A and B are shown apart, each in its own frame.
Chain A
Amino acid sequence: MKASAAVIEKIMFALIRVSSFVIIAFLVFMIGYIIKSGASAIDLGFFTEMPRNEMTQGGILPAILGTFYLMVGSSIIAIPIGIVTAIYLTEYAKSPRIVKVIRLGINNLAGVPSVVFGLFGLSLFVVFLGFGTSILAGSLTLGVLNLPVIIRSTEEALLVVPGTYREASLSLGATRWQTIYKIILPNALPGILTGVMLSLGRAAGETAPIMFTAAAYYTPELPTSIFNEIMALPYHIYVMATAGTHIQATRHLQYGTAIVLIALVLALNMTGLILRYRFRKRLKG
């Protein structure tokens, strides 16, 4: 009886280790395979040239720029509103009822499927407000999508700042706003930046919300106003892989675009995670 319990333990622990390893191996295989298949497509021109010959040759400059504009545009919406909401929730709100209601709103907003955000953006920004398929409509849609990301990270960052800092500041006669502005925000800054990085990564990688609100299959020229439609990296991968007459011929370009997108999103996320890690360590120490 004793022996069999020990055997079961061994088997289960082995299974657990193998399962964890399988998932990591799959991740490594996926990224490795994409890099191996797309490396040949990547050179300097891939980043700086317009697509040529029905997108079978040339670079992906317009898609890179389009994604950049969407990242900036959505940040302009999400960052100020998100940070202010988080400050209200952690520093000001007295009524637990209001906090509960706002938090319920945030949680449910975070759970709305991305394609539903696309529908929302289409009906409100593109059609009802008449922005058309444009950088503006896409940025607004992604901005709303990213609000919960910013709010949660900022809240977490604010909560980690020790209560003694607040008490010290208040006891010196500072108002709450002075305390927030001069003491809490500077101390929470790295944690807030984590949220900003994560939300930028999300804006760069989301496809469904921009499909009907911002993205175009191909634009012959770079955008000149926020009312232009644009190409974007994730949408570019999707349409190149599924539509058109050159799906097989452009495979290496699809892999190349995938590498650029993965590199961009991982760089943003890792910066965010490293900032968070350092921030936690510093405030603990």
Chain B
Amino acid sequence: MRHKSVIYDTIIENTFLVIGLVCLFFLFLIMFFLFREGIPIFKTVGVFDFILGDSWYPTSEVPRFGVFPLIVASIAVTLLASVIAVPFSLAIAIYLSELARPTVREVVKPTIEIIASIPSVIIGFFGMVVVAPLLQEHFDIDTGLNLFNAAVMLAFMAIPTIASISEDAISSVPVSLKEASYALGANRWQTIFHIIVPAALSGIWTAIILGISRVIGETMVVLMVAGGAAVLPGSIFSPVRPLTSNIAAEMAEAPVGGEHYHALFAIGIILFIITFCFNIVADYLSNKYKFKEN
């Protein structure tokens, strides 16, 4: 009887192991299908011409598949969004972990978490119908749908991610460091700035990298707000067309199995590789410098 249940237990363990490998299997399938559908474009266009080519005319008589303007757009939007998001996120993280009274914290923390759960299409919609007209009027520009608007909306989306991981990092700094700093006569700000934040820096970097990785991969906001022009941006108020929005905007018109279809999958490969690298780095950072709890 007992013997039977032990065998039963072993069977379950092995079945669960197989199911546990399903995630890996799907990750492998994603890579396999991206490459299967994306590689064929490189028969028509060389890898370097694809990445560094400066014109994207996928449907013209002689199609051109150069994604450089799209890559630049993705980088520009991401950088600007990070520049906006990081200071706000750190402020929130410090506020929650060091300044806020417990009762205030109980309200503010979930409120920030709510931002993370708002669907991106809603944020894109708001940027499009509310923020864009405001920008257009205020700055006297041709269109409010541009790089700057997209970066602001993306920054808003990234803030909860960066803030909450940074807060965890800041909260896990040992109290003894803080006490030592106070004992030496430092005030609270000096302690935060010179002791706590540097001690939590690796966690904060992990937070920023994960935030950036989310911003690069975000689709709906840039699709609706960035303006959609596949040319190199001249200013922060230029309309741009990042990689993600390009896939979303054109896939419906690209005939399955055609050059355009393959080119869009090749853009998917680029996105996959970029976010994959960011995640590996974040993973590495968060494992390497964890404070050992004792």
Interface residue ranges, A against B (CB under 8 Å): 5-6, 8-9, 12-13, 15-17, 19-20, 22-24, 26-27, 30, 33-34, 81, 84-85, 87-89, 92-93, 98, 101-102, 104-120, 122-124, 127-128, 144, 147-148, 151, 173, 175-178, 198, 201, 204-208, 211-212, 234-235, 237-238, 241-242, 251, 254, 258, 261-262, 265-266, 269-270, 273
Contact = CB atoms under 8 A, between A and B. Distances in A.
A87 B95 CA distance: 36
Contact of A112 (B30, B95, B128): B30
Contact of B30 (A5, A19, A116, A148): A116
A118 B247 CA distance: 10
Interface in B60-84: none
18 contacts: A9-B187, A9-B188, A17-B99, A20-B95, A85-B23, A87-B16, A105-B21, A105-B23, A108-B276, A115-B247, A119-B268, A120-B29, A120-B30, A144-B26, A147-B22, A261-B119, A262-B119, A269-B114
A16 B108 contact: no
B24 A102 contact: yes
A98 B17 contact: yes
Nearest to A208: B219
Q: How many B residues are at the interface, by size bracket?
A: 35 or more
A39 B113 CA distance: 25
Nearest to A147: B23
A5 B36 CA distance: 61
B273 to A, nearest CB: 10
Contact of A116 (B99, B112, B213, B272): B272
A24 B24 contact: no
B204 interface: no
B6 interface: yes
A218 to B, nearest CB: 14
A124 B119 contact: no
Secondary structure call for the B interface: helix
B248 A208 contact: yes
Nearest to B92: A20
A258 B22 CA distance: 35
Nearest to A269: B117
B91 interface: yes
Contact of A9 (B121, B189, B210): B189
Contact of B156 (A19, A26, A87, A212): A26
Contacts of A9: 187-190
Contacts of A81: 19, 22
Contact of B276 (A111, A237, A258): A111
A205 B23 contact: no
Contacts of B256: 127
Interface string B170-208: 000000000000000001111001000000000000000
Given A16-B95, A19-B91, A176-B13, A107 B283 contact: yes
Central interface residue in B29, B122, B272, by most chain A CB within 10 Å? B122
Contact of B125 (A16, A120, A254, A269): A254
Interface string B32-44: 0110110000000
Contacts of B278: 111
Interface of B: 2, 5-6, 8-9, 12-13, 16-17, 19-24, 26-27, 29-30, 33-34, 36-37, 87-88, 91-92, 94-96, 99, 108, 110-115, 117-126, 128-130, 156, 159, 187-190, 193, 210, 213, 216-220, 223-224, 244, 247-248, 251-252, 256, 264-265, 268, 271-272, 275-276, 278-280, 283
A88 B26 contact: no
Central interface residue in B216, B265, B278, by most chain A CB within 10 Å? B265
Given A19-B88, A92-B17, A176-B13, A241 B125 contact: yes
Contacts of A266: 114, 117-118
Contacts of A122: 251
